[in-house]
Amino acid sequence: MTGKRRSPARVFAALGDATRLALVKKLSRGQPLSITQLTEGCKLSRQAITKHLRVLEGAGIVHSVREGRESRFELDPEPIVSIRKYLDHVSEQWDQVLGRLKAFVEN
Amino acid sequence: MTGKRRSPARVFAALGDATRLALVKKLSRGQPLSITQLTEGCKLSRQAITKHLRVLEGAGIVHSVREGRESRFELDPEPIVSIRKYLDHVSEQWDQVLGRLKAFVEN
DNA sequence: CTAATATGCAACCGGTAGGTTGCCTATGTC
DNA sequence: GACATAGGCAACCTACCGGTTGCATATTAG
């Protein structure tokens, strides 16, 4: 049942936190980073960061690969692309409304 | 201090709930809807829906206009467009990485 | 005026999100 | 082997979220 895992709401919720957005930003550079590397510069404890990473992982935004004694996290862009399309759909519907409104005003 | 109000995290968080996404969907048709209208068909109590609407309003996704005894809610697409751009930026960075990787593999 | 409708306000409740701390394990280094 | 480093696990705490209920207020209908 992966259906629920990556529901749009789940993905949005995962991105709905400044700390997590910062993690995504760091990882969007493409280089896999370890937990301690991701913790550096970020006031919070390593455990807190780990929890945030698990949330991102649960939404499918990120995945980890254990390498020796450290586990590297890497971005997984599919869910992000997915909700982008979701937003596109909403905006599109809205644009159609604007279009109709504009047409109405002009006639 | 409207700066914090519509921070990307705030907007994502507002969309990070199935009920709220459903409300946005209903409102994306363009027609302003009253609270009772938005509650119809939605198991939850009117008060619950009201709270969700206030969250969306806090993120700037929606605004209400009092009209007689009912308050109509309407979609406000700006924050959605804004986070769409945000996601575009992340995807773009990622695409650049893929591009570099592709180039590396091909050479 | 009275009744019905639409909403607001506030208290209350259970669950969980976010964070810390302490300790244990595994891996790498000297 | 001894030590340092990277991470996992679990308990614990506070605050907030999502939801309900009860009651008060404003508007509209008859």
Query: Cβ contact (<8 Å) for B12 and A30?
Result: no
Please state the pTM of the whole predicted model: 0.91
- What is the SS3 assignment for A100? helix
Q: What's the residue count for chain B? A: 107
pLDDT digits (tens, 9 = 90+) for B13-42: 999 999 999 999 999 999 999 999 999 999
In the 33-92 segment of chain B, residues within 7 Å (Cβ) of strand D are: 43-45, 47-48, 51-52, 55, 68-69
- Distance of alpha carbon A58 from its chain centroid, rounded? 11
Structure tokens at B30: 């363009």
pLDDT of residue A2: 43
Q: How many whole angstroms separate alpha carbon B33 and alpha carbon B53?
A: 11
pLDDT digits (tens, 9 = 90+) for B85-99: 999 999 888 888 777
Q: How many whole angstroms separate alpha carbon A13 and alpha carbon A61?
A: 11
Structure tokens at A18: 């400044």
Structure tokens at A63: 């995945």
Torsion of CA A58, A60, A61, A65, to 10 degrees: 90
Cβ pair B20, A8 in contact under 8 A: no
Distance A9 CA to C2 C1' (A): 46
Q: Is the CB of A69 under 7 A from strand D?
A: yes
Cβ pair A24, A61 in contact under 8 A: yes
Q: Is the CB of A19 under 7 A from strand C?
A: yes
Give the DSSP letter of residue A69: T
Structure tokens at A96: 């159609």
Structure tokens at A58: 């649960």
pLDDT digits (tens, 9 = 90+) for A20-59: 999 999 999 999 999 999 999 999 999 999 999 999 999 9
